[in-house]
């Protein structure tokens, strides 16, 4: 092991995931895990959308939950069928409480392969999609293009953000 790797220490991601899981369960919230899916992730692929799956990792929804430093492992029922789930910790892109959206987002893995069943080349998306951490200041949005000389009806302005801590919101 080189000196540089020992100076940085191990990743904080598994520790933060465990801490937020504990916080959710201690407060009666349901912990959800958003996961980037590629070939190294073992989840039911029929539930994967846009290379992402959201998993309920509450004790009521899982059996044998292990929140390890390298992998998150558990058994869960999907459509009434028990499935073994294995998620590399570096593929977790967020953990949050279902009830209020509070939690933490993480960067997606740097080297990512498509899921095994979607190995055919797909059109690249212009921007990464998935979870973003909401900020106190709204981002400027580009206006939607108008097609076929139709008049665009303006959308009502978004509600101003409430002051306080940012919360995690699901953007689709």
DSSP 42-106: BS-GGG-BTTEEEEE-STTT-EEEEE-SSEEEEEEEETTEEEEEEEEGGGEEEEEETTT--EEE-
Angle at 77 between CA 75 and CA 80, to 5 degrees: 150
Residues 28 and 41: their CA atoms lie apart, in Å, by 28
| Predicted pLDDT at 64 | 95
**CA 94 → CA 7, 44, 104, 121, 130, distances in Å?**
26, 19, 6, 26, 10
- What mean pLDDT, rounded, does the chain reach? 76
DSSP conformational letter for 26: H
Residues 113 and 140: their CA atoms lie apart, in Å, by 32
Tell me the pLDDT tens digit for each residue of 117-131.
544 444 444 444 444
| Predicted pLDDT at 111 | 60
Q: Are 37 and 43 in contact (CB under 8 A)?
A: yes
| Predicted pLDDT at 38 | 94
CA–chain centroid gap for 27, Å, is 21
Cα dihedral sign, 144-147-152-156: negative
| Predicted pLDDT at 143 | 42
pLDDT above 90: residue 110: no
**CA 64 → CA 13, 84, 155, distances in Å?**
21, 10, 47
Lowest mean pLDDT among 15-19, 78-82, 95-99, 145-149: 145-149
| Predicted pLDDT at 109 | 87
pLDDT above 60: residue 153: no
| Predicted pLDDT at 102 | 94
Specify the pTM.
0.62
């Amino acid at each position: 092991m080189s000196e540089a790797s020992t100076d940085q220490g191990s990743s904080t991601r598994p520790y933060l995931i465990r801490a937020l899981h504990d916080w959710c369960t201690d407060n009666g919230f349901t912990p959800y895990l958003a996961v980037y899916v590629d070939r190294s992730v073992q989840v039911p692929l029929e539930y994967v959308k846009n290379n992402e799956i959201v998993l309920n990792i509450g004790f009521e929804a899982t059996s044998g939950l292990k929140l390890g430093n390298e992998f998150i492992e558990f058994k869960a029922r999907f459509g009434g069928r028990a499935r073994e789930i294995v998620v590399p910790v570096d593929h977790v892109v967020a953990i949050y409480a279902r009830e209020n959206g509070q939690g933490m987002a993480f960067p997606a893995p740097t080297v990512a392969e498509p899921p095994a069943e979607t190995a055919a080349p797909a059109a690249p998306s212009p921007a990464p999609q998935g979870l973003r951490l909401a900020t106190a200041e709204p981002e400027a949005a580009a206006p939607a293009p108008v097609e076929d000389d139709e008049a665009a009806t303006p959308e009502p302005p978004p509600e101003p953000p409430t002051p306080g801590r940012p919360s995690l919101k699901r953007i689709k």
